[in-house]
Chains A and B, each alone.
Chain A
């Protein structure tokens, strides 16, 4: 660049600065009058209650000083609480609920190309063999429901349950599929169903959290803690993970040398400081923090009491098949019943170990899978009966299912048959059941083709299940929103239909 060019450039810059000096605030306002006017109009309109119902654009349900105070639903729902039993890894519907005798005849034959063309599987490559049902089926109850021998206890309560036999998802890997099932989106960052419910209804028992998570099976679900996270909702609505072994909540006991009064005094002091900073900054999250400290203090006494299943009588322990001092599904289920009885809104259970690929004995459909079934059958049956005899099943909705289904083909990882009998992940058909909370008894909705490959009628998506759960609690899933990043968000996003067919 020559000196002359540099000079010219400077001259231009100076001229520009000079001219900008003359632009006043009036110029700015005059030039942007339409834009500002439109913005103002927008906020006036948003303030109006156009549809005569809940103001969708505003987060009116979040009261930062009392984030967990009980709140009312949009309409009187039939369910007051939810117990969601998630079998992480996805149990095979073909060995439990979806009886396909025709598949038996194809056992061991090559899978026809029409079932493979244009399809993607997690592990199946090339041409796999078909795998017939690895369990005997029979009909049970007045509803004549087909059920496999893997769930002998559950066969006694099929008349209390509605089966959704044609659930479909679009995610064939565990983590995204679990996220889709619980947060409505296959990616991270959205609030879970329990968080939405807690945001909408708060918690009735002010000494306990509204959303409790219990895990068993030795591992967390693949999607990690995000499946019970609060996403963009205020963090107080995330699931509180509790343990059925040792302290129910980590660090719930006061450390040695700290007595109850000293604890109270220190929390009071911390809150005093927090109140000062609230007065200075007026950040509502500080109020949330204060109420959380207070709740934590109350929980120190209330939680060990409720979370302790040892005070249940022996015959209840036998009914559930609990195992003393162990973290297991049966203990968690019994705890779930206790929590619901005490007014906890949403109890989410995850039981890991259902990923029956056939890659080792524990994941074989005729070995490890049967053991998994035995570890849950008694407890889930007991849960239904116990809720029923306590008069709680009428307003407690129990949901049981995985994140997807399993293929009618035998898995052949990398094109070679797996050492054990197993099935790959499958998105096109699986079964979920619901009971109580205003759901039909002894009913079955949806149908798969004769080999259980794909749903042919009564198709249901994770969004539909979420819409139904919200509906039973008294929320219209299309109007229940939270304003975030400039638009109202829903649990079901733009999808979902309440499954009216299974509602009583």
Chain B
């Protein structure tokens, strides 16, 4: 503005420049005073704070010089030079002091962190712990610590200690914050940590603060349960008293798979893209063959009865054997001769052969499918012996055998061969009940009373 006011076109803002400098100088002084009071509670990083303090004071000083030189030193020979120099210094100072102030309130690297998140698409979070058996899990290490890391460490750890509190170890948690202990063992309603979690989210003291990721109801329930049980750091879940209400919440922490919840198992190692010509040929037959998801080269195929013979399609699948993990061939015209090709698809995890013409002879071809977890043989001409041929497949989790030649005894043998798998021979019935077709009608009551 100062520079602009020298240009004739903008000479009319000259008087505004003075006022701007005056206001700037006054507010710099006021912020210095309030800053000094705020720094007294010692929540901030010492080194940054002292820089911020001294630079803030300089801003106040130099902006005052600027104003004085502009307004009252009209006759002074170096007046215009002095104003320019102090103006430029002030510009740099405000820039740096402002940034330091930002660092104090928002934490180190507050400008670069969001950018990093944009480019990495992840915020540093606790790696998801797989709890296979929740009863054996350590309450603090396996359940609470990851929860704290994800939702509390942002302000209460080595990076920042808002309210003087750190939560990144047992000792720090027990030490509490500047207002004292945060946990009163056995008494959640007197524990600061729990009280603040259940405060109305609009209240100032509610934790985590508005706009930050909140704890879920189950997470709060877990903290409540932990405190009621005396907030132990070393105990396992099974050693704590578990009221009926906690059971489903605890059970929901358990997970059987490495994959995160709601995501299907796919191999973790990368694979090269499938041969495009082979894919195009397959698609021409009407097969729905696609990557299992964006960014993955693994393939899922669903093949419908159509123009080509099933056996022919099976051969066409061979070139994509490294990528194909899910395959549905239900109802297509596939026989044992096509099974030789299916046996070469060694990456398969899920395979549906239901209502095809295959027999035990064809099944024998599948012995090399070591990754297989799901096998659907519903409506095929297979027998117990045929299925037992595959007992070397250790990863199998479920086999569906409805409408096959397998009888009760065969079923028992298969169960022995696959002790950990779920075997379903179907044939469920929903019995007829008299009430199914009976209709309830209005009973006309005799009128009573008046």
Contacts and interface: CB of A to CB of B under 8 A. Distances in A.
Interface of A: 50-54, 70-78, 152-153, 156, 204-207, 315, 318-321, 341-343, 361, 364, 366-368, 370-371, 374, 377-378, 381-382, 385-386, 388-391, 394, 420, 438, 440, 443-445, 447, 457-459, 468, 471-472, 474, 498, 500-504
A51 B264 contact: no
A500 B440 contact: no
B197 to A, nearest CB: 14
Given A371-B440, A389-B400, 8 more contacts: A53-B121, A72-B291, A321-B430, A321-B436, A374-B439, A391-B400, A474-B293, A500-B261
Contacts of A71: 290
7 contacts: A77-B263, A389-B426, A391-B376, A445-B252, A447-B245, A458-B218, A503-B262
Interface string B357-378: 0000000000000000010101
A75 B294 contact: yes
B217 A457 contact: yes
Given A153-B433, A206-B286, A76 B296 contact: yes
B430 A343 contact: no
Given A76-B266, A389-B402, A391-B378, A51 B252 contact: no
A361 B441 contact: yes
Nearest to B259: A76
Interface in B74-126: 118-119, 121
B424 interface: yes
A130 to B, nearest CB: 22
Contacts of A52: 119, 121
Contact of B218 (A364, A501, A503): A501
Contacts of A205: 288, 302, 304
Nearest to B265: A76
A75 B265 CA distance: 11
Contacts of A364: 442
B289 to A, nearest CB: 9
B272 to A, nearest CB: 17
B442 A367 contact: yes
Nearest to A204: B288
A445 B251 CA distance: 11
A500 to B, nearest CB: 5
Given A51-B121, A75-B293, A153-B433, A443 B251 contact: yes
A361 B444 CA distance: 11
A52 B119 CA distance: 7
Interface of B: 118-119, 121, 217-218, 221, 245, 248-249, 251-252, 256, 261-264, 266, 286, 288, 290-294, 296, 298, 302, 304, 330, 352, 354, 374, 376, 378, 398, 400, 402, 424-430, 432-433, 435-442
Which 8 residue pairs of A and B lie closest in terms of their CB atoms, listed nearest first?
A: A389-B426, A391-B400, A385-B428, A204-B288, A391-B376, A503-B261, A361-B442, A389-B402
A367 B427 CA distance: 34
Nearest to A456: B217
A342 B330 CA distance: 9
A378 B436 contact: yes
B263 A444 contact: no
Q: Which has the most chain A C-beta neighbours within 10 Å: B262, B263, B298, B378?
A: B262
Contacts of B261: 500, 503-504
Nearest to A458: B217
B430 A204 contact: no
B133 to A, nearest CB: 15
Contact of B302 (A75, A204, A444): A204
Contacts of B251: 443
A412 B292 CA distance: 54
Contacts of A152: 433, 435
Contacts of B119: 52
A33 to B, nearest CB: 19
A320 B436 CA distance: 11
Contacts of B439: 371, 374
Contacts of B221: 457
A207 B305 CA distance: 11
A71 B292 CA distance: 10
A212 to B, nearest CB: 16
A186 to B, nearest CB: 25
Given A51-B121, A205-B304, A370 B294 contact: no
B428 A388 contact: yes
A388 B262 contact: no
A78 B378 contact: no
A368 B402 CA distance: 37
B293 A73 contact: yes
Contacts of B425: 389
Contacts of B433: 152-153
A504 B428 contact: no
Nearest to B424: A389
Nearest to B299: A72
B354 A390 contact: yes
Contact of A50 (B118, B217, B218, B400): B118
A38 B294 CA distance: 32
A390 B426 contact: yes
B374 to A, nearest CB: 7
Contacts of A457: 217, 221, 245
A70 B427 contact: no
B410 to A, nearest CB: 16
A504 B256 contact: yes
B262 A500 contact: yes
A445 B252 CA distance: 10
A72 B292 contact: yes
A366 B121 CA distance: 55
